[in-house]
């Protein structure tokens, strides 16, 4: 892979080439990506979507919105630090093509901002709930009418693929969705493969999938424009990662490792004494003991350690990336950056205690159970009504149900896969609160 190709400013529908040296630096294309994402309705909905604690009313617990903003900030730092070194190593990128250090930061920041944009309500349990409606619920009735890959898209519903669709799918009058630059889309695609074969290798890029069958053609267009390396044969589609996708993933890993841990302490689910015990190896070279002792509140003490820990992990991820840049460009680096750094063991220890005390806490489990019931009910109600309308057997109840669809979802889909995925898209865009309200309306709970 070549950096000058990987940093493509092309957007869906372009008829002429966009050159970096011709860009207006006051309105740089990569920064336009950031603006378009942050002003989108899909991004705004993240303010009421679960990060860890579903339906939490505690003001210092992170939502998907605050998490995404923080990941973006970390991603920008990672991108700039890496970009600076790459330009020093390959000066032609700046001298001939006009790329700057901040371009790398802008691309990673925009992709990181969007990294959770496709997640349904109720966190990762929301993804599982959508999949299980088709795998073990009433959605099983549709299996024989779908191809294997279409079916896998549904039973293994994936927020990353849904995010790609939200960013790129056309609808009447809006061609190409948000029309994000191909470089940012490449950095966004942590798993550049289709849903089957599932986890064919131990390569981190094969861990999940990154696009639905309905988006396959455009996905391939993006991959080919960027010069990504194909790693599947025959009728299967998959590619090695865009190098900057490693930085987006690292930003996410750093934030949820440290900040979910911080949330757990602030919620009282993890004892404060664990903070220093688990973070000390990350902060020992930068912590000012007197400053730490002078902080009088738990929140301030944890905040101080969190900032130092994130800084250490950023520097470590940058070092791992630069050390392995050639392998990454050759498509021969099958790991996450945080899996190969000097703090890998500490990250695992922190995640283990967060998993035990936070992710599996009674509050989280109880609300995930509620989320499963809500999503199952919404999918069954809307899928049934939508298909009944297409098949000409729509009841008065079905007509009323479909009137609850937002205007942009009132559209006809000719084949079953598109109809089912259309309703999954709708449910995935709901906030936690809106999903509860719709559920209450349908079940008569209010």
On the question of pLDDT at 182 being above 60, the answer is yes
The predicted-structure confidence for 322-358, as pLDDT tens digits, reads as follows 999 999 999 999 999 999 999 999 999 999 999 999 8
β strands within 159-300, DSSP E: none
Note the pLDDT of residue 94: 96
| pLDDT band at 55; cut points 50, 70, 90 | low
Three-state SS sequence of 273-334: HHHHHHHHHHHCCCCCHHHHHHCCCHHHHHHHHHHHHHHHHHHHHHHHHHHCHHHHHCCCCC
Tens of pLDDT, residues 185-226: 999 999 999 999 999 999 999 999 999 999 999 999 999 999
Tell me the pLDDT tens digit for each residue of 382-436.
Answer: 999 999 999 999 999 999 999 999 998 988 888 999 999 999 999 999 999 999 9
Match 């869906």 to its residue by tokens: 12
Residue-level pLDDT at 151:
98
pLDDT band for 263, please (50, 70, 90 cuts): confident
The pLDDT of residue 59 is 54
Q: How many CB atoms lie within 10 A of CB 31?
A: 19
Question: Which pLDDT belongs to residue 167?
Answer: 96
Residue 50 pairs in a beta bridge with 63
CA distance 54 to 377: 18
- List C-alpha distances in Å: 90 to 19, 48, 82, 187: 18, 43, 12, 20
pLDDT in tens, 155-166: 999 999 999 999
Q: Which domains does the chain have, with CATH numbers?
A: 3-119+243-359 (1.10.3210.10), 121-156+361-446 (1.10.3550.10)
Q: Are 214 and 161 in contact (CB under 8 A)?
A: no
């Amino acid at each position: 892979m070549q950096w000058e190709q990987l940093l493509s400013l092309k957007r869906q529908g372009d008829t002429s080439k966009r050159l970096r040296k011709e860009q207006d630096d006051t309105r740089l294309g990569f920064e336009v990506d950031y603006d378009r994402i942050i002003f989108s309705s899909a991004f705004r909905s993240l303010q009421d979507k679960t990060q860890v604690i579903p339906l939490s009313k505690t003001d210092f617990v992170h939502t998907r919105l605050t998490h995404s903003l923080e990941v973006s900030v970390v991603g920008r730092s990672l991108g700039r630090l890496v970009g600076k070194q790459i330009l020093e190593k390959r000066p032609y990128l700046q001298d001939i093509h006009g790329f700057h250090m901040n371009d790398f930061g802008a691309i990673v920041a925009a992709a990181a901002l969007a990294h959770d944009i496709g997640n349904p309500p109720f966190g990762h349990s929301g993804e599982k709930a959508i999949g299980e409606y088709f795998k073990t619920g009433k959605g099983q009735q549709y299996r024989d009418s779908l191809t294997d890959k279409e079916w896998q898209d549904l039973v293994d519903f994936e927020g990353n693929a849904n995010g790609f669709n939200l960013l790129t799918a056309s609808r009447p009058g809006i061609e190409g969705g948000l029309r994000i630059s191909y470089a940012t889309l490449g950095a966004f695609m942590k798993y550049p493969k289709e849903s089957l074969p599932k986890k064919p290798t131990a390569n981190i890029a094969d861990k999940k999938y990154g696009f639905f069958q309905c988006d396959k053609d455009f996905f391939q267009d993006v991959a080919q424009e960027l010069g990504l390396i194909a790693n599947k044969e025959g009728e299967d589609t998959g590619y090695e990662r865009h190098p900057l996708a490693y930085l987006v993933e690292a930003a996410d890993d750093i934030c949820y490792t440290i900040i979910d841990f911080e949330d757990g302490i602030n919620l009282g689910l993890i004892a404060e004494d664990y903070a220093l015990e688990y973070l000390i190896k990350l902060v020992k070279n930068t912590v000012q003991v007197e400053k730490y002792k002078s902080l009088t509140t738990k929140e301030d003490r944890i905040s101080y350690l969190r900032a130092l820990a994130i800084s250490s992990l950023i520097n470590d991820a940058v070092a791992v990336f630069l050390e392995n840049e050639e392998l990454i460009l050759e498509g021969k680096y099958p790991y996450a950056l945080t899996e190969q750094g000097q703090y890998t063991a500490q990250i695992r220890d922190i995640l283990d205690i967060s998993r035990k005390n936070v992710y599996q806490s009674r509050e989280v489990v109880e609300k995930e159970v509620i989320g499963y019931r809500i999503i199952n009910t919404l999918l069954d109600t809307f899928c049934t009504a939508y298909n009944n309308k297409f098949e000409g057997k729509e009841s008065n109840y079905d007509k009323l149900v479909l009137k609850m669809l937002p205007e942009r979802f009132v559209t006809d889909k000719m084949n079953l896969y598109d109809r089912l995925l259309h309703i999954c898209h709708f449910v995935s865009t709901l906030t936690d609160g809106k999903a509860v309200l719709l559920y209450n309306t349908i079940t008569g709970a209010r």
